[in-house]
């Protein structure tokens, strides 16, 4: 199996002119021509809604949309495409877990463990839940070489900790977390663990099974794709037990004014018309 040819800065990234050095990829990546062409093609010659049209183009677009879900599952080593929830980005993925898992599983007196180097998106959603439920948040320090201190994590974890949420790779320092050790420590005391993979997925091989985490999130725009699309992966038994937090089209099984039943995952978490082209 041969590897793909490396991308050329000028020829493949039209938004990076000759003479530029683009150093903001940790915030958002420029888009290669192949991505731009795919977006244009989807809007230009094949665009239609998904999951609800009965005409051929809609059926074709639905197949393509679900193939993207299958490709995403393979990309991160998920067991099934049904473990992949499409979101607007990693931020929405974390908020989804906060509202659909944490808000229904945590209670006053429980604790959440974060670290000093977390992105705001991996701090504020937990603060919102903690304030509402009476949950406490603890913060891991960093080592002298600017990594999340897992020795401190081993000392700080208690049975009261029900969730650990950590960045897989720091967006500021570039330090890489030993995700498997963090998962083992969390699981050793019965806690669930979420990994923020925004900076990891574009740069290192990610296998959620090998990491043994419970939730994993990342965004498309840091992965050379468009904005407005992201991924939440979760263990299937967790997704099955989580209620939806947004209501609308596509996420339902049956609707009546007396009672509505919800679609199985991942559909129940994807209310409304999705970012089809993304």
211-261 per-position pLDDT tens digit:
999 999 999 999 999 999 999 999 999 999 999 988 776 666 677 787 777
Give, in order, the Cα–Cα distances in Å from 44 to each of 58, 68, 112, 211.
14, 19, 46, 40
Is the pLDDT higher at 246 or at 2? Answer: 246
To the nearest 10°, the Cα dihedral for 122, 125, 126, 130?
Answer: 160
Residue 204's nearest CA partner among 187, 222, 221, 192 is: 222
Question: What is the 3 state secondary structure string of 132-193?
Answer: HHCCEEEEECECCCCCECHHHHHHHCCCCEEEEEEECECCCCCCECCHHHHHHHHHHCCCEE
Question: DSSP label at 251?
Answer: S
* Per-residue pLDDT band at 10 (split at 50, 70, 90): low
Give the pLDDT confidence of 145-203 residue by residue, as tens digits.
999 999 999 999 999 999 999 999 999 899 999 999 999 999 999 999 999 999 999 99
Whether the upstream peptide bond of residue 266 has omega within 30° of 0, thus cis, is: yes
The answer on pLDDT for 93 being more than 80 is: yes
pTM for the full model?
A: 0.93
Q: Which CATH class is domain 64-269?
A: alpha beta
* Per-residue pLDDT band at 2 (split at 50, 70, 90): very low
User: Going by DSSP bridges, is the β-strand pair 260-262/136-140 parallel, antiparallel, or unpaired?
Assistant: unpaired
Tokens of 48: 């239609």
Q: What is the pLDDT of residue 4?
A: 58
């Amino acid at each position: 199996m041969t590897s793909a040819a490396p991308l050329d800065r000028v020829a493949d990234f039209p938004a990076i002119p000759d003479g530029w050095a683009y150093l903001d990829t940790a915030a958002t990546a420029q888009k290669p021509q192949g991505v731009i062409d795919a977006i244009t093609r989807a809007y230009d010659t094949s665009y239609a809604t998904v999951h609800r049209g009965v005409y051929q183009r809609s059926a074709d677009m639905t197949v393509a949309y679900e193939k993207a879900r299958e490709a995403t599952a393979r990309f991160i080593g998920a067991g099934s495409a049904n473990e992949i929830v499409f979101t607007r980005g990693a931020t929405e993925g974390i908020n989804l877990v906060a509202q659909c898992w944490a808000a229904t599983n945590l209670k006053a007196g429980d604790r959440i463990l974060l670290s000093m180097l977390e992105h705001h998106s991996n701090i504020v959603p937990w603060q919102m839940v903690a304030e509402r439920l009476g949950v406490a948040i603890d913060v891991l320090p960093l080592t002298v070489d600017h990594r999340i201190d897992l020795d401190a994590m081993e000392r700080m974890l208690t049975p009261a900790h029900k969730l650990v949420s950590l960045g897989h790779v720091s967006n500021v320092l570039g330090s890489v977390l030993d995700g498997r050790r963090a998962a083992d420590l969390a699981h050793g005391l019965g806690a669930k663990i979420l990994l923020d993979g925004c900076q990891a997925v574009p740069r290192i091989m990610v296998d959620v099974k090998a990491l043994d985490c419970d939730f994993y999130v990342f965004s498309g725009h840091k992965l050379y794709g468009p904005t407005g699309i992201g991924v939440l992966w979760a263990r299937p038994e967790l997704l099955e037990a989580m209620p939806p937090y947004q209501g609308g089209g596509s996420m339902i099984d049956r609707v009546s004014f007396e009672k509505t039943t919800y679609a199985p995952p991942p559909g129940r978490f994807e209310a409304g018309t999705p970012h089809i082209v993304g």
